[in-house]
Amino acid sequence: MTVREDGETLLDAADLAGVGDSYDVVVVGFGIAGGCAALEAARAGARVLVLERAAVPGGTTCMAGGHFYLGGGTAVQKATGHDDTAEAMYDFLVSVSREPDHAKIRAYCEGSVEHFDWLEALGFEFERSYFAGKAVIQPGTEGLMYTANEKVWPYLNQATPAPRGHKVPVPGDTQGAKLVMDLLRDRVEEAGAEVRYETGATQLVATEAGEVVGLKWRKFQETGLVRANAVVLAAGGFVMNADMVAKYTPALGAKLFTLGSTYDDGLGIRLGASAGAALEHMDQPFITAPFYPPSLLVKGLVVNKDGQRFVAEDSYHARTSYHVMRQRDSAAYLIVDSNHAERPSMPLVPFIDGWETVGEMAEGLGIPTDALRATLERYNTHAARGEDPDFHKQPEWLAPQDTGPWAAYNLSLGKALYAGFTLGGIKTTVDGQAQRADGSVVPGLYAAGACASAIAQDGQGYCSGLQLGEGSFFGRRAGRHAAVSRRTDPR
């Protein structure tokens, strides 16, 4: 879906008369996408200015788990014995996209190994190790694991599976991404780019023909204008903008924890729209409440209020959550027997209770007894044979749940702690050029990261590591293209 958003007001190029502050490339935002754009532009010889509203670099990137979704035969994949090709990676990403941008997906996959090497050249090395369990992020410093639906039906029949979730070798959920940002900050400084902190863009400046030639900035009460051959918008998504969320992704405003920084207020997207850029997939959020780890819980079954299964439990956690949100009252329960009951490592999905019999469990959950009993018996019969004819759950995650007592965990919206962020943004070319609704580019304007529409726009098709992966990859392309394709004398 392509839409136009009423953006900020646009200043006329005449307002730049007498302004001497000029750069080849101005980057708005210093997260992973903006940092990579600035670094590549500076390394290409451009005079670069970065504007960051916060006092330090990082933005929402520093809230990320440290995953980069990379493949095609990286050094970690090879070292751990996992064969992968750019074609297999491409096939998979196309299979999980609602409206795949084939050119962007192919570029990302074919450039993935080179991008892996570029990231390591910042000053760190992904550990050459593999984590085989089901987890939201590797528990230690393991360099690789499955972070999407590659081994889940029907995707495993559409593309050869391979693990592509590369984690920065720092224990914990967010410190890996911070390490990369610290290194990126140092490399940007070494490359000679100028960074102004606590300074935000407020308006773009464009000619009568629609060419972006500068912007207005604000630092506390001080304001000013700057000329630019090109502007790269990398200012984050819009999850913290209540009005935009209500308009485009209302599910993110319903009892959810928003994954974003203060500055994920959609400013970059609105700036782009003010210059005529079209917006894509604004209605697509990422929403999840993982019930694993531990991996043992994946062998249980998930049912709705009618006692029916509705998704393969070995799905990537966001796919499971996507289907939970589509059940009656957005309610669902994970059921396990006494051989598989363990408390989730992440306290997002609360334990409800335990029961000695299936009938007592049905009564406790408010589920029709006959329906729950029939679902459980069917699941157990097939699981004993290593089969799941209903949802094609893979054999390694199948086990009968037939030994009482039984336990249930609450996956329901409003009970489980769901979190989410936005996937929509500015429509762009493979080199990050902002595009109008008719596909023409807005001269002088680029977008990357959460400002730009994601390549895997379907909420259930998201892969952990894509935000850092594509943000850094297409940020690099935007910065490089902006540096080499524009005039060297800014107006």
Q: How confident is the model at residue 174 (pLDDT cuts 50, 70, 90)?
A: low
Q: Is the pLDDT reported for residue 490 higher than 50? A: no
Q: How confident is the model at residue 172 (pLDDT cuts 50, 70, 90)?
A: low
Q: How confident is the model at residue 170 (pLDDT cuts 50, 70, 90)?
A: confident
331-340 burial code (b ≥16 CB/10 A, e <16): bbbbbbbeeb
Q: What pLDDT, on a 0 to 100 scale, did the predictor assign at position 173? A: 63
Q: Can you give the residue ranges of every domain in the chain? A: 290-410
Q: Is the pLDDT reported for residue 488 higher than 60? A: no
The token pair at 324 is 């939970």
Q: Between β-strands 212-219 and 22-28, what pairing exists: parallel, antiparallel or unpaired?
A: unpaired
Mean pLDDT confidence for 424-442: 97
Q: What pLDDT, on a 0 to 100 scale, did the predictor assign at position 457? A: 66
Q: What pLDDT, on a 0 to 100 scale, did the predictor assign at position 371? A: 98
pLDDT above 90 covers a percentage of the chain that reads 86
Per-residue pLDDT tens over the stretch 119-130: 999 999 999 999
Lowest mean pLDDT among 223-237, 266-280, 289-303, 477-491: 477-491
Q: What pLDDT, on a 0 to 100 scale, did the predictor assign at position 3? A: 42
Residue 435 CB coordination number (10 Å) = 22
Q: What pLDDT, on a 0 to 100 scale, did the predictor assign at position 341? A: 93
Q: How far apart are CA 450 and CA 443, in angstroms?
A: 20
Q: How far apart are CA 378 and CA 486, in angstroms?
A: 64
For residue 222, give Cα distances in angstroms to 83, 198, 217, 406.
55, 11, 8, 63
Q: What pLDDT, on a 0 to 100 scale, did the predictor assign at position 486? A: 64
Q: How far apart are CA 199 and CA 42, in angstroms?
A: 20
Q: Is the pLDDT reported for residue 4 higher than 90? A: no
Q: Is the pLDDT reported for residue 346 higher than 70? A: yes
Q: How confident is the model at residue 489 (pLDDT cuts 50, 70, 90)?
A: very low
Mean pLDDT confidence for 39-66: 93
| DSSP 8-state assignment for residue 159 | S
Mean pLDDT confidence for 134-145: 93
Q: Is the pLDDT reported for residue 7 higher than 70? A: no
For residue 14, give Cα distances in angstroms to 18, 19, 206, 225, 311.
9, 10, 9, 12, 58
Q: How far apart are CA 154 and CA 393, in angstroms?
A: 10
Q: CATH top-level class for 290-410?
A: alpha beta
Per-residue pLDDT tens over the stretch 381-423: 999 999 999 999 999 999 999 999 999 999 999 999 999 999 9
Q: How far apart are CA 376 and CA 202, in angstroms?
A: 57
Per-residue pLDDT tens over the stretch 79-99: 999 999 999 999 999 999 988
Q: Is the pLDDT reported for residue 1 higher than 60? A: no
Mean pLDDT confidence for 231-255: 92
The token pair at 118 is 């570029």
Average pLDDT, the chain: 93
Lowest mean pLDDT among 177-181, 343-347, 430-434: 343-347
Q: What pLDDT, on a 0 to 100 scale, did the predictor assign at position 111? A: 98
The token pair at 287 is 């929403």
Q: Is the pLDDT reported for residue 8 higher than 90? A: no
Q: How confident is the model at residue 171 (pLDDT cuts 50, 70, 90)?
A: confident
Lowest mean pLDDT among 57-66, 149-158, 275-284: 57-66
SS3 content of the chain, % helix, strand, coil (to 5): 35, 20, 45
Mean pLDDT confidence for 425-437: 97
pLDDT above 70 covers a percentage of the chain that reads 96
CA angle, 434 as apex, 428 and 439 as ends, to 5°? Answer: 70
Lowest mean pLDDT among 256-265, 277-286, 436-445: 256-265
DSSP codes joined into one string, 20-88: --EEEEEEE--SHHHHHHHHHHHHTT--EEEEESSSSS-GGGGGS-SEEE--SS-HHHHHTT----HHH
Mean pLDDT confidence for 453-472: 87
Q: What pLDDT, on a 0 to 100 scale, did the predictor assign at position 6? A: 54
Mean pLDDT confidence for 100-125: 97
* This prediction's pTM: 0.94
- Cβ(135)–Cβ(293) under 8 Å? yes
Helices (H) and strands (E) counted in the chain, each on its own, are 12, 22
Residues 6+ apart with CB under 8 A from 439: none
| DSSP 8-state assignment for residue 451 | G
For residue 55, give Cα distances in angstroms to 49, 195, 233, 402.
16, 11, 18, 56
Q: How far apart are CA 399 and CA 388, in angstroms?
A: 10
Q: How far apart are CA 122 and CA 128, in angstroms?
A: 17
Helical segments of 150-287, H only? 175-190, 242-248, 267-274
Residues 6+ apart with CB under 8 A from 399: 299, 339, 340, 383
Place of tokens 């019930």: 291
Mean pLDDT confidence for 156-182: 89
Q: Where are the beta strands (DSSP E) in 234-344?
A: 257-258, 279-280, 285-288, 301-303, 333-337
Q: What pLDDT, on a 0 to 100 scale, did the predictor assign at position 149? A: 96
